[in-house]
Amino acid sequence: MKTRIMIYVDDVDMSVAFWTDEFGAQVVARQTLNGGYQNVIVGISSEVELSIFPRDYIRIYSPEVAENVPSLMFFSKDFDRLHDELISAGEITEVNGVLTFNFQDPEGNYFVVAKAE
């Protein structure tokens, strides 16, 4: 099963650069939307993709969800490397026996990485 998560940002190019530079995500597709807006899909893994939409586009076509921010936790076997390399990585904490840390994207959205066993 593949999961595609839609996120809404003010600067699509900056968000794509963050996910590709910091996580090694690959651009899967670029789509031109109504009004000349661009949507970019990046693959985080073979089973997880982020579909990055401009928030202004969502405000026009789906205003009821435009301000939604997903609360995402990524499980990674590269936990220690990610913590060392992510500029915005927070302190490592233990939650119910699982090591985790928060990080922030360039737009101030917070995400969590948990250590995969």
Q: Give pLDDT, residue 117.
A: 83
13 and 53 belong to one structural domain? yes
**pLDDT, mean of residues 56-64:** 96
53 and 77 belong to one structural domain? no
52 and 83 belong to one structural domain? no
Q: Which domain holds residue 13?
A: 3-65
Q: Which pLDDT tens digit goes with each residue over 21-30?
A: 999 999 999 9
Q: Give pLDDT, residue 70.
A: 87
42 and 90 belong to one structural domain? no
7 and 58 belong to one structural domain? yes
List Cβ neighbours of 57 (8 Å cut-off, separation of 6 or more): 33, 34, 35, 37, 39
61 and 77 belong to one structural domain? no
The number of distinct structural domains making up the chain is 2
**pLDDT, mean of residues 14-34:** 96
Mean residue pLDDT across the chain: 95
Q: Which pLDDT tens digit goes with each residue over 65-84?
A: 999 988 999 999 999 999 99
